[in-house]
Amino acid sequence: MLQVVYCNHQTAALSVREKLAFSSEKLQQAYAQLRHRFPGAEAVVLSTCNRVEIYTAQEATEAAPTHRELVEFFADFHQVPVAEFLEEFLERTGPDAVRHLFQVTSSLDSMVLGEPQIVSQVKTAYQTAQENDACGPLTHALFQGAIRVSSRVRTETHLAEGRVSIASVAVGEFGKSIFDRFDDKRVLIIGAGEMAEETLRYLQSEGVGEIVVVNRSAERAQALAAQFERARPEPLTELDRWLGAADVIVSTTGATPPLVDLDRFRAVRKKSGGRPVFILDLGAPRDFAPEIADIDDNVFLYDIDALNSTCDRNRKTRQKEIDQALKIIDDETDRFMQEIYHRATGPIVKRLREQWHEISRDEMTKLRTKLGHLNASDLESVERSVERIVNKLLHPPLEALRQEAKAGTPHGLVDALKRLFHIRDS
């Protein structure tokens, strides 16, 4: 059984998602608890600024973790009451779970349609699950399939054209509504991950005048700054200074508790002269307390959820590409499920064929001794007739098995065939 439980930017507010997010530091602990609670289940955790998801897989449906059990895992791990997120926490199983991951990895389920970062995030999540011994044959097949499907969507559609990164949409839409130009602006980047790098790449294309990178790890800040002109690293101890000196602030850390609370920014703001400042908070959990937006009229604070309306407009203009991508994903989902069901029914089909043809060969050996008066050609005709009879007798049960497998692994029919024809598990 394949399933996913999740919340994302479409189902839950950022205030809910940030409570349920898994930091990279806590993933090892999360996998340890998942193994303890669900010892027979494969699992992959995908936690980004826009979504929190756990994919699980198990051969036996009755032994798989239930929706409620996974919800309780989230509640216990994050110390968040179930009532605070239960309605926003959805479940998909079987083909629907596969289709969901394929859409996520292909960026159809992203806030910014066609954004490339999600593929890297899915790969990282899959790799982390492998490192924590949480994967198995079903999740291996599922995530390798998702990465392959995303490549096909990117190649066969135009979803990846235009503004497709969160940074390009946020800066392009919001930043340009505040500033006419960026070449005379000082930019502060807090964080040194992929989101920070993507934002820097876009800002450099806009010709920003000066870039300061601050990160908990000085080495990572230095490595990121070295990739861009007019960028330099600064120590985290100097954060307050640069918060007051920057015109544009982009934060991507997702620190807990918030990196900059109201009192801290208010103190910084008193020294800044009150000039306009554009703050783009891409962290989940958020890095800046939401109340900072109300300090004065020249503080423009936007978080991930503020992008929704802009991204919805972009989505409506690209419906043709979406439809084409969805068709690819539906075809790939059907193909994937058929392969999974074939894996489940393949062994019994093979053993049933082998068993019946072994019986026919044994009977033909006995028959040859009784039909010694026949020539080789006649004996071969008899043998072919026996083989055709066996195949015709096999056809009804195997066809029933094939038809039932289209809707899922037919455990009941498989068990019945084993009992009827005395097929033993190898």
Residue 322 maps to a domain: no
Structural domain boundaries enclosing 291? 166-314
Same domain, 100 and 197: no
Same domain, 170 and 157: no
Strand partners, 25: none
DSSP 288: B
Q: What one-character-per-residue DSSP string does 84-125 give?
A: GTGGG-EEEETHHHHHHHHHHHTTSSSSSTT-SHHHHHHHHH
Same domain, 257 and 364: no
Amino acid 409: pLDDT: 60
DSSP 426: -
Going residue by residue through the chain, which has 426 residues, state the pLDDT in tens, using 9 for 90 and above.
Answer: 899 999 998 888 888 998 999 988 899 999 999 999 999 899 999 998 889 999 999 877 777 899 999 999 999 999 999 999 998 899 999 899 999 999 999 988 887 777 778 899 999 999 999 999 999 988 999 999 999 999 999 899 887 775 556 767 777 777 877 888 888 899 999 998 878 888 888 888 888 889 999 998 999 999 999 998 889 999 999 999 999 999 999 998 877 788 999 999 999 998 888 889 999 998 888 899 999 999 999 999 988 887 776 677 667 777 888 899 999 999 999 889 877 776 666 566 667 777 777 788 888 888 877 777 778 888 888 888 888 888 888 778 777 776 666 555 666 766 776 777 777 665
Nearest alpha carbon to residue 3 among 77, 61, 85, 86: 61
Nearest alpha carbon to residue 189 among 260, 249, 268, 241: 249
Domain boundary at 131, 161, 191, which?
A: 161
Tokens of 260: 């900059």
Same domain, 308 and 185: yes
Nearest alpha carbon to residue 198 among 227, 156, 219: 227
Residue 327 maps to a domain: no
Same domain, 148 and 241: no
Residue 426 maps to a domain: no
Same domain, 200 and 85: no
Buried b (16+ CB within 10 A) or exposed e, 46-71: bbbbbbbbbbbbbbeeeebbeeeebb
Amino acid 406: pLDDT: 58
Amino acid 50: pLDDT: 84
Residue 212 maps to a domain: yes
Give the integer Cα–Cα distance in Å for 394 and 389.
Answer: 9
pTM exceeding the 0.95 threshold for the entire prediction: no
Residue 325 maps to a domain: no
Same domain, 33 and 146: yes
Same domain, 151 and 124: yes
294 CB contacts (<8 Å, ≥6 apart)?
none
Helix (H, G, I), strand (E, B) or coil at 173: helix
Same domain, 94 and 208: no
Catalytic option among 7, 49, 135, 311: 49
Residue 261 maps to a domain: yes
Same domain, 138 and 230: no
**C-alpha angle with apex 36: 35 to 40, nearest 5 degrees?**
50
Tokens of 345: 């029914």
DSSP 50: S
Nearest alpha carbon to residue 149 among 342, 2, 331, 318: 331
Same domain, 145 and 173: no
Q: Is there a catalytic annotation at residue 311?
A: no
Half-sphere exposure of 419 (CA within 13 A, CB side): 6
Amino acid 301: pLDDT: 92
Domain count, the chain: 3
Amino acid 309: pLDDT: 67
Amino acid 162: pLDDT: 59
User: CATH number of the domain that 93 lies in?
Assistant: 3.30.460.30
Nearest alpha carbon to residue 194 among 299, 130, 117, 113: 117
Domain boundary at 105, 136, 161, which?
A: 161
Domain boundary at 314, 349, 384, which?
A: 314
Residue 230 maps to a domain: yes
User: CATH number of the domain that 246 lies in?
Assistant: 3.40.50.720
Same domain, 27 and 68: yes
Residue 425 maps to a domain: no
